[in-house]
Amino acid sequence: MVQVHLWSGLRPLVDGREVVEVEGETVGQLLDNLVKDYPGLKPAIDKGVSISVDGQIIPKSRGVKVKDSSEVFLLQRLYAG
């Protein structure tokens, strides 16, 4: 299971939890399983989020590998300037 840290605005959607655990070996699987296991997050993920894996911000790529030990944060959807 991968621990996913949530920004505080998302926590009310998952009973106040700061960190949730989901299965997944890629960013895409994590996002899919977050929606499946925590339906409260669906509006935010559908609207668009970014994710960071071990310090690298991943705006789009669903195929990036994730390990159980990875540091993973959900971030507001990022865009270029």
Q: What residues line the site for another protein (CB under 8 A)?
A: 5, 7-9, 43-44, 47, 52, 54-61, 64, 71, 73, 75-81
Q: What angle do CA 63, 12, 24 make, to 5 degrees?
A: 20
Rounded least distance, CB 24 to another protein, Å: 17
Nearer to another protein by Cβ, of 36 and 48: the residue is 48
Nearer to another protein by Cβ, of 35 and 78: the residue is 78
Q: Are strands 2-5 and 72-76 parallel, antiparallel or unpaired?
A: parallel
Within 10 angstroms of residue 22's Cβ, the number of other Cβ atoms is: 20
Q: Which residues contact 53 (CB under 8 A, 6 or more apart)?
A: 27, 64, 66, 70, 71, 72
Rounded least distance, CB 4 to another protein, Å: 11
Rounded least distance, CB 73 to another protein, Å: 4
